[in-house]
Amino acid sequence: MERPLVVSALENQVKARPVPRHVGIIMDGNGRWAESRGLDRLEGHREGSSSVREVTRTARRVGIQALTLYAFSSQNWARPAEEVAGLMDLLRDYLERERAEILDNGIRLNAVGDVGRLPRFVREPLDRLIADSAHNTGMVLSLALSYGGREEILHAASRMAEAISRGELLAGRVEEADFESFLWTNGLPPLDLVVRTSGEQRVSNFLLWQMAYAELCFTDALWPDFRTDEFLRCVSQYQQRERRFGLTSAQVKREDTPQRAKA
Ligand code: FPP
């Protein structure tokens, strides 16, 4: 049975201020979590699925519009075959188990990445849940699957070149928004905050284009230990930052600075 939810003071404090619209998370440290307990690495990924559930619920409760989780990178295909197979099984289990909760809570599921590479037993429940949740407007949960930021940029560049060759776009007149429309993240709000767990401080090919003006939060917690309070602490840190987008602090504080530049 679910335990009744006790909303913490931290959560109330976070809810009282503007929350980031779009948060991306590099979920790292599952392997170390398991190995430090003498367990198989897959046990770490399994426990990490519980963090996925808890952080998604919390993000939804505090009013985040978009949450993007780095679940499997383009480079992760090169891990030992057993680990890749175990991760694919976990993804399928997650999509089956969380289906009702996603649909009942107004969450729209989305995937970013070269999802055509996923095995059919993952792609089918993924496509089904994406289609069945398409009308939901509460929060977009994007799973980055077979995802790499460089791969995304290359893919977008080649699709844009095709559009130019069809005469749909003028080569010398391409604007940022034109290019963004070819990215896998097209339609998602600008990325405001990126969290990385496990004490590593690098971006590992995650949302490279989108990260240009994102705030970063690095935490030592391993992903399976990263739950509601750790997530709220990152959001709270974000709320204390001044985002300047290349302007001066005085400009940002001025009432007449366009909202978009302040956002
Ligand atoms: C990185 O930890 C994590 C991954 C490569 C996979 C992330 C997968 C999950 C959290 C579970 C399944 C996902 C969903 C959406 C249900 P690592 O293995 O690199 O850890 P390490 O650096 O400690 O070895």
Query: Is the CB–ligand 1 distance for residue 71 below 6 Å?
Result: yes
What structural domains and CATH numbers belong to the chain? 21-194 (3.40.1180.10)
Average pLDDT, the chain: 95
Q: Is the dihedral of CA 31, 33, 37, 39 positive or negative?
A: negative
Question: Residue 263: is its pLDDT beyond 60?
Answer: no
User: Which residue has its alpha carbon closest to ligand 1 atom 5?
Assistant: 72
Q: What is the pLDDT of residues 220-261, one digit of tens each?
A: 999 999 999 999 999 999 999 999 999 999 999 997 766 555
Q: Which residues on adjacent β-strands are paired with residue 22? A: 66
- 2 marked as binding residue: no
Average pLDDT over residues 123-133: 98
Give distance in angstroms: CA of 87 to centre of ligand 1. Answer: 8
Q: What is the pLDDT of residues 74-113, one digit of tens each?
A: 999 999 999 999 999 999 999 999 999 999 999 999 999 9
76 catalytic residue (yes or no): yes
- Quickly state the pLDDT bin for 54 (edges 50, 70, 90): very high
- 196 marked as binding residue: yes
Bin 29: left if φ > 0, else alpha if -120 < ψ < 50, else beta: left
- Quickly state the pLDDT bin for 262 (edges 50, 70, 90): very low
Q: Cα-atom radius of gyration of the chain, to the nearest Å? A: 19
Return the pLDDT at 7. 87
Spatial distance between the Cα atoms of 253 and 244, rounded to a whole number of angstroms: 9
